[in-house]
Amino acid sequence: MPIQSSEGRIDRRTVLRRCGVSIALPLLPSLLPRTSRAAEQASQASRMAVLSVPFGMVVDKFHPTESGPDYELAPTLEPLRKLKNDFTVFSNLDHDVRGGHAANHTLLSGIKSTERAGYPDGNITVDQRAAELVGYQTRFPSLVFWNEGMSYTRTGVRVPAITKPSEAFQLMFVDDSEEQRRFNRASLESSGSILDVVLEDAKSLQHALGTEDRQKLQEYFTSIRETEKKLDLAGSWIERPKPKINDAVMTKVGTGDRDENIGSNLVEVWLDLMFLALQTDSTRVVSMSVKNCNWGLDGVTDSYHTLSHHGLRDDPLRQLAIVEEYLMVNLARFIDRLKTTKQPDGSSMLDSTQVLFGSGLGSGNRHSNDNLPLLLAGGRWQHGRHIDGQRKQPLCNLYLSMLQRMGAEQDYFNRSNSTFTGLETVG
> According to the CATH classification, is domain 40-174+248-405 in 3.40.720?
yes
DSSP of 110-164, one letter per residue? Answer: SS-GGGGGGSTTTT--HHHHHHHHHGGGSSSS-EEEES-SS-B-TTSPBPPPB-S
Do residues 278 and 49 make contact, with C-beta atoms less than 8 angstroms apart? Answer: yes
Query: Apex CA 354: angle with CA 348 and CA 359, to 5°?
Result: 140
Furthest-apart CA atoms within the chain: distance in Å: 77
Residue 385 main-chain phi, psi, to 5 deg: -150, 160
DSSP of 43-54, one letter per residue? Answer: HHS-EEEEEE-S
Going by C-beta distance under 8 Å and a sequence separation of 6 or more, which residues neighbour residue 184?
176, 238
Beta bridge partners of 388: 91
CA 325, CA 76: separation in Å to the nearest integer? Answer: 6
Per-residue pLDDT of the chain (427 residues; tens, 9 = 90+): 344 444 444 444 443 334 433 343 333 334 444 444 444 444 456 999 999 999 999 999 999 999 999 999 999 999 999 999 999 999 999 999 999 999 999 999 999 999 999 999 999 999 999 999 998 889 999 999 999 999 999 989 999 999 999 989 988 988 766 766 665 556 555 555 555 555 566 666 666 666 666 666 555 555 555 554 554 555 555 667 888 877 776 777 777 776 765 566 789 999 999 999 999 999 999 999 999 988 889 999 999 999 999 999 999 999 999 999 999 999 999 999 999 999 989 999 999 999 999 999 998 888 899 999 999 999 999 999 999 999 999 999 999 999 999 999 999 999 999 999 999 998 6
Query: Edge-to-edge strand order for the sheet containing 47-52?
Result: 143-146, 285-289, 47-52, 353-358, 374-378, 87-91, 385-388
CA 357 to chain centre: 11
Beta bridge partners of 168: none
Do residues 325 and 79 make contact, with C-beta atoms less than 8 angstroms apart? Answer: yes
* Residue 182: how many other CB atoms lie within 10 Å: 12
- Domain locations along the chain: 1-31+175-241, 40-174+248-405
Which of 32, 18, 2 lies closest to 409 in space, CA to CA?
Answer: 32
Residue 10 main-chain phi, psi, to 5 deg: -65, 135
Note the pTM of the prediction, 2 decimals.
0.79
